[in-house]
Amino acid sequence: MSLYKRDNMWWIDFTTVSGERIRRSADTSNKLEAQELHDRLKAESWRVDRLGERRQYTWDEAAAKWLEETSHKRTHHDDVLKLRWLEQYLGGKLLTEVTRDVVAGIGARKRSQASAATANRHLALIRAILRRACDEWEWIDKAPKVTLYREPKRRVRWITPEQTRTLLDELHEHQRDMVLFALATGLRQGNMTGLCWSQVDLERRTAWIAGEDAKNGDDLHVSLNDLAVEILQRQRGKHPERVFTYRGKPIKWVNTRGWRSALARAKIENFRWHDLRHTWASWLVQHGTPLYDLQEMGGWKSAEMVRRYAHLAPAQMARNAAVIDTLLHDTITSQRRLQNEQKRDYGRP
């Protein structure tokens, strides 16, 4: 039977002239719609087999193949979530129907709901799948151009030590320890909440994040200062596996009502948990840490990401500028001395 129902959804199952079995969901509970799709697929398969036409692939097939080929990537789960959202607009469409205008319309809908950066991540995924369908799978002749939104420059929001003390006074003990650890190490939220005791060596005063869990894909070595070691020692014995817990359970999320309320009481506005990392980096740069060292400590992939903090090191820049000042001063002094000697020699009889 080439058309049957399962779990209130119609399925298509038939064999082509060449012997290939086509079996897929019709993605509808309406029998007429399922029958229409069945007839279209069967007619298409006949044209492919008998007339040599190129088979028409759907977006669903491309999305499934993409997820299969990229299952090893760190962003795989994020792609799954994005594709679920995109399904409402692209599900059932042929790849040839996914035109530039269609993609632009999807981008506009996402942009009305979220930031330009979020919309761009969805558009970039569509673009990547269509490009692979064209260049590697050869399912389409040409991938449509996908235009991304202009994004504002990345923000650098940090707080002063005085503001930090005010915030710490408003936090519960488990939140206070996590904030202090974030400021002591610069670890990202996910790496800190997921930190396990197997990643910590208190004797060597070090912790490490595996490349598969790091944002840049490379292993990250974290040197633990006195404060970080002290915080970790306070957590010992609370949980056999995870470092940071609350009432015996691992902490999975830090953007809680308690966190937001503490910020409000401390009168700190426009501040996210990730801004603790910005604060850590800003303090280091302000106290003379070279940008290259900061890049290594924070696990940034490129120097461009670290240049955001360059303007926070005027004292360090002034010291560097003073080197040229000294060299030029010595050069000018030598030149003037030489000119004076030449004048004296010229004036002699």
As a whole number of Å, the CA-based R_g of the chain is 30
Indicate which residue of 277, 278, 283, 308 is catalytic: 277
Segment (H or E) for 223: strand 220-223
Structure tokens at 301: 């992939």
CB neighbour burial string for 245-283, b if at least 16 within 10 angstroms, e if fewer: eeeeebbeebeeeebeebbeebebeebebebbbbbbbbb
Beta carbons of 71 and 39 less than 8 angstroms apart: no
Indicate which residue of 205, 215, 242, 272 is catalytic: 215
Count of Cβ atoms closer than 10 Å to residue 90 Cβ: 22
Q: Which residue has the tokens 């957590």?
A: 235
Indicate which residue of 65, 174, 238, 274 is catalytic: 274
Spatial distance between the Cα atoms of 158 and 280, rounded to a whole number of angstroms: 8
**Catalytic (active site) residue 277:** yes
Indicate which residue of 127, 259, 300, 308 is catalytic: 300
Beta carbons of 25 and 60 less than 8 angstroms apart: no
Structure tokens at 188: 């990202």
**Catalytic (active site) residue 215:** yes
**Catalytic (active site) residue 239:** no
Spatial distance between the Cα atoms of 266 and 283, rounded to a whole number of angstroms: 20
**Catalytic (active site) residue 188:** yes
Indicate which residue of 38, 188, 278, 308 is catalytic: 188
Spatial distance between the Cα atoms of 290 and 79, rounded to a whole number of angstroms: 36
Which positions are catalytic? 188, 215, 274, 277, 300, 309
